[in-house]
């Protein structure tokens, strides 16, 4: 497996863990975890949606520690690129770049550099 696809999978694991844990902090009651049966799927005719890959908590925590130690610009680019994809839409993109202190034309390059820095930190 190449470094690039492996880092993408591991960052996806990090995203899933921290996205799920923030939802769980809202409420710990059983009512808060109830999810009604979906109406958009006919369970008799269609297979249910595929299950997600299990989350590797230890790896997600290691990634969180490594990401928070990156310089601000690189940390912000990774967090926005994985956690806040909506902020990369056309109407938010320039403001997002200003917050992350990156020029819009250098966004992709900065994300690649951040991933390389993260690979080096994780070794």
Written as tens digits, the pLDDT of the chain (123 aa) is 467 788 989 999 999 888 765 444 445 555 666 666 667 766 666 666 677 778 899 999 999 999 999 999 999 999 999 988 888 888 889 999 999 999 999 999 999 999 999 999 988
Domain membership flag for residue 118:
yes
pLDDT at residue 108 in the model: 93
Does the residue 92 lie in any domain? yes
Compute the distance between CA of residue 30 and CA of residue 51 in angstroms, rounded to an integer.
21
* CB distance 5 to 119 below 8 Å: no
pLDDT at 76: 93
In this prediction, residue 62 carries a pLDDT of: 94
Residue 4, domain extent: 1-18+54-123
DSSP designation for 70: S
Tokens of 82: 């994985």
Residue 23 lies in a domain: no
Exposed, middle or buried by CB within 10 Å (0-12, 13-18, 19+), for 94?
Answer: exposed
pLDDT of 119 = 92
Contact (Cβ atoms closer than 8 angstroms) between residue 101 and residue 73: yes
Is residue 82 assigned to a domain? yes
Residue 41: inside a domain, yes or no? Answer: no
Q: What is the pLDDT of residue 1?
A: 47
Distance separating alpha carbons of residues 95 and 61, to the nearest angstrom: 29
Contacts of 23 (CB under 8 A, 6+ apart): none
* CA 89 – CA 68 distance, rounded (Å): 24
């Amino acid at each position: 497996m190449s470094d690039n696809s492996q880092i993408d999978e591991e960052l996806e694991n990090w995203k899933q863990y921290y996205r799920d844990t923030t939802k769980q902090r809202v409420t710990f009651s059983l009512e808060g975890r109830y999810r009604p049966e979906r109406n958009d799927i006919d369970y008799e005719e269609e297979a249910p949606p595929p299950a997600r890959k299990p989350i590797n908590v230890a790896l997600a925590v290691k990634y969180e520690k490594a990401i928070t130690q990156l310089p601000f610009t690189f940390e912000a680019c990774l967090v926005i690129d994985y956690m806040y994809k909506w902020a990369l839409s056309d109407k938010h993109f320039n403001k997002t770049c200003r917050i992350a202190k990156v020029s819009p034309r250098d966004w992709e390059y900065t994300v690649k550099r951040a991933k390389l820095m993260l690979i080096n930190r994780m070794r």
